[in-house]
Structure 1
Amino acid sequence: MGSAIVDRLVDCDESVVVYDLDQERTDTAVGKGAVGAASAAEVAELADVVGICVPADRHVEAVISGPGGLAKTAKAGQVVLVHSTVLPSTVRDARATVEEWGGFLHDACVAGGVDAARRGEMVLLVGALTDLPDAAVRLLHLLGDRLLDAGPVGAGAALKVGVNVMSYAQFSAAAAAFDLVERNGAESDTLLEAWRHIGQLGRLTESYVSLLSLPADVVAGSMRAYLVATAEIARKDLDLAAELAHSGSGLHGVVTALGEAVPEVFRVGESSSQEDRGGQGG
């Protein structure tokens, strides 16, 4: 997602400074018109608005306070936006750290996928949107065509986890339904036609279901590696959801069940491999 955000801002003729632990990704962004930095600290030195797009909670803290982090060169009035899917408490703790140098931190979590990011059509779930400085609001309007005030800082992160639970629930339902109908002599294409007609098949889920029809020889090699990485992200997001959900509720079991189903949903689980080899799945 970070690369797509950079692409969008460069296409909008914004001055963009990038840093990534993966030098190849930094080089790719520079080749498209961004300026490369040697550390997060250098980004903070050059930019007034800093966006963080990293895999997990611990990386947010590392970008801000770790060796070569933003805190080393940050300045008063600087705005830090957290785009990653993380716990609300992570955002609130990061905000407290940024406030120590007179900066502002808000969650500005993104939803809609990389294609929407490159078109500037994402939904942005922003904590304390009305308190966000104008320079940051202007940039967010370049990234998305819908900015939603999530509530206090941290609420955007909670909403993003909720959005992801809804998405993975739909993917899981589609995978289960495809398996069910095909094992019982019905056609999955007919299932999709019915789903569309009653208005329950959204654009994101319709994009996902194409995975379910791919031949086994396609779900291999680099494609499988991509799906494994995607499944790992999904499982991480659902672990966050399980942490946030009420453990005494039956709904908590729904979240944990979605997490357990992730490998099959993305066709990288053991029973999926058996099916792809022509065996009998469970």
Structure 2
Amino acid sequence: MTAAQTIGFIGLGAMASRMAVNLAKAGYKAIAYTPSGKGGNGDIAFLATAADVARAADIVLVCVPDDEALETCMYGAAGALAGMKSGGLVLNTSSVSPEATQALFEAGQKLGVTVIDCPVSGSTPEAEAAALVVLAGGSDDAMQRAKPVFDAIGRLTVHAGPPGSGARLKLVINAIMGAGLAAVAEAIAYGLAAGLDRSMLFDALDEMAVISPHHKRKIRMARTGDFAPQFPARLMQKDMRLFLDAAARLAVPVPTLAATTQQLSLTRRAAEDADYSALIGIMEKIVANDA
């Protein structure tokens, strides 16, 4: 019964903490472990190790920033897999490489544990509103087991295919998102350098159908100079790096996205904890200095 189930969070940052709120509304209980060792989120109990969380939870939900954090939290004597029982379920919402995703799936198989790669599309506003899009890779039976959790945190679940498909689809989506933002930033910089009125330019872009709702939100952030992190630059740059590596392994030429990655590396260097849309502000400062 859903009301009796406990979700064990491995990582409880900006996204996962909002998922936890919506899962509580759906009747789930929560416990957590954070790789940083920091904890204290209302009624959620924080345990000493990921293994402790896995032992006490019915479902383990992983939300960590990168491959390295995933390895630290999932493997070894204190890792979550050490605390899992045969028949357990791991929902890996982390945006990590296809290789790390496959390794975790295979490690789970050896223990009789079902692992679904299910990164989410959306930033903190969508996580708060339970409006994420879940990008899931796994069998049909696994999807049915996870459906109540996915329904509680998102507005849509895309069954991308077999294990590993969710991770790959997430790279595709974030690559498009990053390239779109870079194009917006460069085009705005040209408009400002060419003498267009700033207010007029930002107002006009907000009305254009060619710009996605996501990127319009980023343009509005840039207009006011508020780059509070909905999707931090360090994480977007990491996802672009993962995409480039994955594409190179398949010999897929991606010159546009390679250039975008360089722009986002610049953004990460300048403001790694700011929203990745800070690239718009960086480009604006460059042309302002030339004025």
TM normalised by structure 2 equals: 0.82
CA–CA distance in structure 2, aligned partners of residues 155 and 190 of structure 1: 42
Q: Secondary structure at the match of 1:132?
A: helix
Matched, 1:8 2:18: no
CA distance in 2, matches of 1:23, 1:210: 35
Looking at structure 2, the residues matched to 150 and 84 of structure 1 have their Cα atoms a distance apart, in angstroms, of 16
Q: Out of 197, 200, 207, which is 2:210 matched to?
A: 200
Segments of structure 1 that go 5 or more residues without pairing to the other structure are: none
Are 1:242 and 2:244 an aligned pair?
yes
Which whole-Å CA distance do the structure 1 matches of 2:29 and 2:140 have between them? 25
Distance in structure 2 (CA, Å) of the matches to 1:83 and 1:49 = 13
* Percentage of identical aligned residues: 22
Return closer, same or farther for 1:84/1:241 CA change in 2, 3 Å cut-off: same
| Cα distance between partner residues in 2 of 1:135 and 1:36 | 25
Q: Which of 111, 120, 138 is equivalent to 2:121?
A: 111
Alignment partner of 2:262 out of 251, 255, 260? 260
CA distance in 2 between partners of 1:75 and 1:133 (Å): 19
Q: How many residues align?
A: 267
Partners of 1:77 and 1:104 within 8 A in 2:
yes
- Give the 3 Å change call, closer, same or farther, for CA 129–35 of structure 1 in structure 2: farther
Query: Structure 1 pair 114/274, CA: closer, same or farther in 2 (3 Å)?
Result: closer
Provide the rounded CA distance (Å) in 1 between the counterparts of 2:252 and 2:119.
Answer: 27
RMSD, aligned CA: 2.8
Partner of residue 153 from structure 1, selected from 158, 163, 166: 163
**Within the alignment, does 1:233 sit opposite 2:235 as a pair?**
yes
Q: Normalising to structure 1: TM-score of the pair? A: 0.84
SS at match of 2:236: helix
The whole-number CA distance in structure 2 between the counterparts of 1:131 and 1:212 is: 44
Measured against aligned partners, the alpha-carbon deviations of 1:213-242 in whole angstroms (never above 9, x if no partner) come to 235xx77xxx6xx59x92221211111010
Q: Is the 8 A contact 1:10 1:34 kept in 2?
A: no
Q: Per-residue deviation at 1:192?
A: 4.8
CA contact (8 A) 2:189 2:283 kept: no
Question: Please, which moves more after superposition, 113-122 or 77-86?
Answer: 113-122
1:255 and 1:205 map into 2 onto residues whose CA distance is 17
Q: Could you tell me which runs of 5 or more consecutive residues in structure 2 were left unpaired when the two chains were aligned.
A: 1-14, 268-275
Per-residue CA deviations over 1:31-83 (Å, capped at 9, x if unaligned) read 1x223221111111111211111111122222221341112221011001110
Distance in 1 of aligned mates of 2:143 and 2:190: 51
What are the residue-to-residue correspondences of 1:175-214 with 2, within 5 Å? 175-214=185-224
Amino acid at match of 1:255: L
